[in-house]
Amino acid sequence: MGGDFGPSVTLPACRVFLQANPQARLLLVGKEEALGSFVHERAQCVPAAEVVEMGDAVEVALRRKRHSSMRLAIEQVRDGHAQAAVSAGNTGALMAIARYVLKTLDGIERPAIAYPLPNIKGGATTVLDLGANVDCTEHHLLQFAVLGSALDAALKGKEHPSVGLLNVGSEAIKGSEVVKRAGDLLREANQAAMLNFYGNVEGNDIFKGTTDIVVCDGFVGNVALKASEGLASMVSAVLKEEFSKSVFSKAAALVAMPVLKAFRNRLDPRTHNGAALLGLRGLVFKSHGSADELAFSYALQRAHDAANNQLLEKVKTRVQLAASLF
Amino acid sequence: MGGDFGPSVTLPACRVFLQANPQARLLLVGKEEALGSFVHERAQCVPAAEVVEMGDAVEVALRRKRHSSMRLAIEQVRDGHAQAAVSAGNTGALMAIARYVLKTLDGIERPAIAYPLPNIKGGATTVLDLGANVDCTEHHLLQFAVLGSALDAALKGKEHPSVGLLNVGSEAIKGSEVVKRAGDLLREANQAAMLNFYGNVEGNDIFKGTTDIVVCDGFVGNVALKASEGLASMVSAVLKEEFSKSVFSKAAALVAMPVLKAFRNRLDPRTHNGAALLGLRGLVFKSHGSADELAFSYALQRAHDAANNQLLEKVKTRVQLAASLF
């Protein structure tokens, strides 16, 4: 039901997803009148009386809308009817409800949101946390590193993905007090073979793909993500403006169109849609609210692949292994 | 002497600057053998025995190289021989030496680095702090807001530039504890007409140009800046790659060249080169280390304009006015 466009985007994306994954089944959770038209032998509607709106306060979503589609979807995971839940709705509400319904794993104090950002190597760098936790301790940052490692193991098939600590310089003495202490903890975890710690990385390393995973607190991560989105919007707006300025530039745009399209496709953020909520006793994925059909189908695919590749078991194993340092 | 290219870039830039500013005079501080070749009636060489290297630790630059060109240049400002110092050298060393030689203004605990980032409105958003202070209190953030306001008054001619507080959401209840308290202080300063506080802004607002100034701690600012630089590099690398992939795309590049050039010029970061070190008893500007001739001449121009428009006096007046809240 969620996102900027609701079922007009999510339902066609479901159809794409079902076609691409002949073993997969979908539970469509939401208002019956909105979803009832979707008929597929591997899809089933789970009717929900209420919907969490994008503008709802977390408290409202959590306490007053106990029969929301968001909550019901996460309850499907808790009760074993679904292996993962996907939503394009209100992020704060989704995190709060997921935490309330599923609970965090032993040893994890705070779940994190892990987002894949495209890098120049042609892959994606997993960045976490992206907004769930604004004030973090060094132990939270270590937990994020372990959670992110499990995610990359499940989705990229890398057993020992490299972890970078986002900082203002590459030397170990750089950074805020919390980040310096986090560096010490991560080095310790690395020596104990609990994870593969690369060292400090800087903001540009996210897009260089220096490490598989970049760990930071939710404040820094959110600012880095939004600043990058803002720059990308500006670049694309200016490019568009320049190519439509005159008759000549419009002609140039026609000639360059296939190249510009290839350029756009390579950096298309839609193909990386689907942030993982990690550290919970169940799988929940968050699609960008503005996702279109293609983007939402990618979020469904990521949730499917994560479940298929035992993300939850991988997270549990790694958390248990590293818990002595938490 | 500083930057990646030293006098081979800074000297030609000086010539450009002197030509553009017929009233201006330059003191060239550095090794005589490197600068002696530069002859101009409004330029004079101030010989220095040592040079701070890009890789020097702050301690080395500050304690062991007491006759460095960097230090001597800042002493010219302290002693009234120059109205501003400009360097493309080691940022940490420059800040430490500037702070040691010039001292901070009464009421200012920590100087900040203010950087102009291009925005979609065609201007630049002044962002501070960008790396000088990684652990900040709410009072530091308020001080940054006052310092940035003085800079924009001097360089953009805006008496009441708007200030945004970088946060993870626009509502006042969002953010880390320090940022929430900073919001309270900034609202108070706004009510007392000490500055023009807009409210919270997010990372993308930097490039949207929502406010004239964006205030954040140096850790967040540094990450946002470097993440944006990283994304910009990736975009430009991918664009270049796509345009040189085949005979066809190379032909398309030729046709589109004037448009692509106009695009690049509009977002050219070199035209915004020159970060201000604010809160000191003298003017110091930092050029990007990788600056070329054009970029370095812009840094010289900014320093010149700041001095010409009484930046130092503007900073002092505003700091005095707001000091009751510091």
Model confidence over B180-213: pLDDT tens digits? Answer: 999 999 999 999 999 999 999 999 999 999 999 9
Whether residue A227 and residue B228 make contact (CB cut-off 8 A), yes or no, is yes
Q: Which residues of A touch B253 (CB under 8 A)?
A: 256, 259
Mutate to test the interface with B, among A56, A223, A271 (most CBs of B within 10 A): A223
CB contact under 8 A, B228 and A231: yes
Say whether A263 and B239 touch across the interface (CB within 8 A): yes
Q: Please report the pLDDT score of residue B36 as a whole number.
A: 87
C-alpha span between B95 and B132 (Å, rounded): 8
Produce one character per residue of A156-186: b if its CB has 16 or more CB atoms within 10 Å, e if not.
beeeebbbbbbbbeeeeebbbebbbbbbebb
- Predicted local distance difference test score (pLDDT) of residue B63: 92
Cβ distance B258 to A267 less than 8 Å, yes or no, reads: no
Residue from A178, A179, A242 to probe the interface with B (highest B Cβ count within 10 Å): A242
Say what the pLDDT of residue B86 is.
98
pLDDT of residue B50: 94
Decide if pLDDT at A173 tops 80: no
- Average pLDDT on A146-150 reads 97
Token pair, residue B228, equals 């944006």
Give the distance from residue B311's alpha carbon to the nearest chain A alpha carbon, in angstroms. Answer: 28
| Cβ separation A120–B175 shorter than 8 A | no
Cβ-Cβ contacts under 8 Å, B267 against chain A: 234-235, 238
CA distance A221 to B223: 9
In what helix (H) or strand (E) does residue A192 lie, and over which residues does it extend?
none
Give the per-residue pLDDT at B132. 78
Q: How far is A68 from chain B (nearest CA, A)?
A: 24
The answer, yes or no, to whether residue A169 has pLDDT greater than 90, is no
Of residues A181, A148, A188, the one with CA closest to residue A164? A148
Segments of chain B with pLDDT less than 70: none
pLDDT at A325: 87
Q: What is the pLDDT of residue B304?
A: 98
Yes or no, beta carbons of B245 and A267 under 8 Å apart? no
Between A and B, how many residue pairs show a Cβ–Cβ distance under 8 A? 179
Closest Cβ–Cβ partner in B175, B227, B266 for A227 = B227
User: Which among A134, A179, A231 has CB closest to B168?
Assistant: A134
Which domains are assigned to chain B?
Answer: 1-102 (no CATH), 113-274+308-326 (3.40.718.10)
Reduce the DSSP state of residue A184 to 3 states and report it: helix
User: In the predicted model, is pLDDT for residue A263 greater than 90?
Assistant: no
List beta partners, residue B131: none
- The span from the CA of B203 to the CA of B99, in Å, is 29
| Mean model confidence pLDDT for chain B | 94
Residue B211 corresponds to which amino acid? Answer: T
Smallest CA–CA distance, residue B167 to chain A, in Å, is 7
Closest residue, chain A, to B218 (C-alpha):
A168
Instruction: Say whether pLDDT at A326 is over 90.
Output: no
Nearest CA in chain A to B171: A57
DSSP for B236-300, please give it: HHHHHHHHTSSHHHHHHHHHHHHHHHHHHHHT-GGGG--EEEESBSSEEEE--TT--HHHHHHHH
Q: What's the rounded Cα separation, in Å, for the pair A70 and A50?
A: 9
Stretch A10-34: mean pLDDT, rounded? 96
Q: Which residue of B has its CA nearest to A225?
A: B203
- pLDDT value of position A170: 81
Indicate the pLDDT class of residue A266, thresholds 50, 70 and 90.
Answer: confident
Tens of pLDDT, residue by residue over B247-285, are 999 998 898 888 989 888 888 888 889 999 999 999 999
Interface test with A, best of B168, B244, B246 (most A CBs within 10 A): B168
pLDDT for residue A113: 96
Q: How far apart are CA A137 and CA A216, in angstroms?
A: 10
Token couple for B3: 């930057």
Q: How confident is the model at residue A89 (pLDDT cuts 50, 70, 90)?
A: very high
What are the two backbone dihedrals, phi and then psi, of residue B54, each rounded to the nearest 5 degrees? -60, -30
Closest to A176 (Cβ–Cβ): which among B179, B219, B230?
Answer: B219
Taking the CA of residue B2 and the nearest CA in chain A, the distance in Å comes to 20
3-state secondary structure of B309: coil
Taking 80 as the threshold, does the pLDDT of residue A264 lie above it?
Answer: yes
Helix A177-191, helix A138-155: angle, nearest 10: 50
Closest CB to A234: pick one of B120, B131, B223: B120
**Which residue in chain A has the smallest CA separation from B175?**
A134
Q: Quick check: A234 and B177 CB within 8 A?
A: no
- Please tell me the distance from the alpha carbon of residue A68 to that of residue A71, in angstroms, as a whole number: 5
B-chain residues near A206 (CB < 8 A): 227, 230
CB contact under 8 A, B223 and A224: yes
